[in-house]
Amino acid sequence: MLGVLGGMGPMATVDFMRKLVEATPASRDQDHPGALVLQASDIPDRTRAILAGGPDPLPAMVAGLRRLEAAGATRIAIPCNTAHHWHGALQARTALPILHIVDAVAEALFVRGYRSGSIGVLATGGTLKAGIYSGRLARHGFTCVAPIDQDAVMRAIRLVKAGRVAEAGAILRNQARGLIAAGCGRVILACTEIPLALSASDEGFGDGLLDATQALAQACVSGAGAPERLVA
Amino acid sequence: MLGVLGGMGPMATVDFMRKLVEATPASRDQDHPGALVLQASDIPDRTRAILAGGPDPLPAMVAGLRRLEAAGATRIAIPCNTAHHWHGALQARTALPILHIVDAVAEALFVRGYRSGSIGVLATGGTLKAGIYSGRLARHGFTCVAPIDQDAVMRAIRLVKAGRVAEAGAILRNQARGLIAAGCGRVILACTEIPLALSASDEGFGDGLLDATQALAQACVSGAGAPERLVA
């Protein structure tokens, strides 16, 4: 059974759950795979830990992992991009396989025939600073590009967490357009708050946007997420 | 920590989780209470068990309860109206308090100043046959009224489970109008699939519709759900 270490933030986890259900071909309740979702509320801010030496979120994430193990989870997904800075540390503390959201994104890029070039990354400052996308995608021939105004992206993410989605959407659309104008063939919505304000199917972007939350949901459903060629 | 025995159906549980987050006043992740959500996929059809002697869902529900207990839940909510037919049997098997969705609905009716009269119940045939609403609401002076065409309601609920939401919405709007025309002061959306197709804020109904999913979410947030005066 899939265990979801969520709550980072809570509405982003709900968005992930919805995409998980939508990615499952089913016409009745019993066609769906089971899942166990922790809306953890006590995990310190991931970006603050990476950028400003804030409280370490790892102990609370490990505690959440233990709850999911106790309830019978057999594999883990984490619908928070920045939390993947601790992916290795978490994986070292559990026998359960933990999917990696960047592998799911790489798989989605491959499936859509996009195999090299510049990729824009709309993400938290923590995700960018920690190189969560740039390191893992560079191995596959992609070059990651940061937004022109990262402070604006961070402001938008905080607006989403406070429920001010329309304001956030305008900021994010503007930054996405800037990345495309700078030559990025694809822009990853690489913070799980972002698709709450800017959908990958938003008008005017064609197939330019790729939703990391959706990619992770798809990887969970297809049982993939860490194909050999991607983590080699 | 709130434990949610969900998956009946999976998208209804997602809807409940969204309403739970929305009902919580918060501006950052850490303001939210934690929750643990089981998307159980192996619980047999509740309505079929009540109406047609189908497989008993109780053992799978108890197994789900045990997972939530193991993970550290301290109280339980079940975002499925029909499943409340087994509320007493489940409560007898756990020390954790299980909120009752009809108590949450009664509380919502009281809060809105609606204290007696006829109440329409849009629900599964199982919920109606088992008297889940009629018995519990009668004690508070309400008379429950079934839809004119219950087969149509059941067809709409199955359409929602299959993702055919627009077709379902048209059927449900029609049945809701019929109940109001028959003198019901309020119509309860008393199956968690229904608000996916017909929102309580749907135009043309004023404050005539009450969403049981939302009432349960509100009860979870306010820590209420089984106030003394409602279960006496």
The Cα B58–Cα A140 span in angstroms is 49
Q: Would you state the pLDDT for residue A227?
A: 38
Q: If you measure CA to CA, which chain B residue comes closest to A29?
A: B9
The Cα B2–Cα A18 span in angstroms is 20
Q: If you measure CA to CA, which chain B residue comes closest to A3?
A: B38
Q: If you measure CA to CA, which chain A residue comes closest to B25?
A: A162
State the catalytic residue, choosing from B80, B144, B184, B220: B80
- Over pLDDT 70: what percentage of chain A? 96
Mean pLDDT, range A108-132, rounded to an integer? 94
A142: closest CA of chain B, how far (Å): 32
State the catalytic residue, choosing from A80, A144, A184, A220: A80
* B191 is annotated as an active-site residue: yes
Residue of A21, A26, A72 with shortest CB distance to B14 = A21
Q: B-side interface with A, Cβ within 8 Å? A: 7-11, 13-14, 17-18, 21, 24, 26-45, 67-68, 70-72, 158, 161-163
Residue of A21, A70, A161 with shortest CB distance to B10 = A21
The Cα A156–Cα A197 span in angstroms is 9
ipTM score of complex: 0.90
pLDDT at B226 over 80: no
Q: Would you state the pLDDT for residue B41?
A: 85
The arrangement of strands across the sheet holding B35-39 comes to A75-77, A2-6, A35-39, B35-39, B2-6, B75-77
Neighbouring CB atoms inside 10 A of A182's CB total: 13
Summarised one tens digit per residue, pLDDT across range A40-67 is 989 999 999 999 999 999 999 999 999 9
A contacts of B157 (beta carbons < 8 Å): none
Contact B18 A36 (CB under 8 A): no
The Cα B20–Cα B24 span in angstroms is 7
B contacts of A21 (beta carbons < 8 Å): 10-11, 14
pLDDT at B49 over 60: yes
Q: What value does the mean pLDDT of chain B take?
A: 92
Residue B72 backbone zone (phi > 0: left; psi -120 to 50: alpha; other: beta): left
B contacts of A65 (beta carbons < 8 Å): none
B contacts of A162 (beta carbons < 8 Å): 27-28
The Cα B89–Cα B105 span in angstroms is 21
Summarised one tens digit per residue, pLDDT across range B151-167 is 999 999 999 988 899 99
Contact B21 A8 (CB under 8 A): no
Contact A39 B27 (CB under 8 A): no
Which residue is listed with tokens 């933030």? A9
Q: If you measure CA to CA, which chain A residue comes closest to B42?
A: A30
CA distances B145 to A136, B83, B156, B186, Å, are 59, 20, 18, 10
B contacts of A38 (beta carbons < 8 Å): 34-37, 71
* B80 is annotated as an active-site residue: yes
Q: Would you state the pLDDT for residue A116?
A: 87
A contacts of B45 (beta carbons < 8 Å): 28-30
The amino acid at B16: F
**Residue with the larger pLDDT of the pair A228 and B111:** B111
User: To the nearest 10°, the Cα dihedral for A178, A139, A191, A80?
Assistant: 180
The amino acid at B200: A
The amino acid at A80: C
Summarised one tens digit per residue, pLDDT across range A177-209 is 999 999 999 999 999 999 999 999 888 899 999
What's chain A's Rg over C-alpha atoms? 17
- Over pLDDT 70: what percentage of chain B? 96
A229: closest CA of chain B, how far (Å): 31
Domains and CATH numbers, chain A: 2-100 (3.40.50.1860), 101-216 (3.40.50.1860)
Q: Would you state the pLDDT for residue A208?
A: 94
Q: A-side interface with B, Cβ within 8 Å? A: 7-11, 13-14, 17-18, 21, 24, 26-45, 67-68, 70-72, 158, 161-163
Q: Would you state the pLDDT for residue B203?
A: 84
Which residue is listed with tokens 């800037």? A178
The Cα B45–Cα A70 span in angstroms is 27
Contact B70 A68 (CB under 8 A): no
State the catalytic residue, choosing from A144, A184, A191, A220: A191
Q: Would you state the pLDDT for residue B32?
A: 80
Contact A38 B34 (CB under 8 A): yes
What's chain B's Rg over C-alpha atoms? 17
Q: Would you state the pLDDT for residue B161?
A: 84
State the catalytic residue, choosing from B144, B184, B191, B220: B191
CB-based contact B37:B76 (threshold 8 Å): no
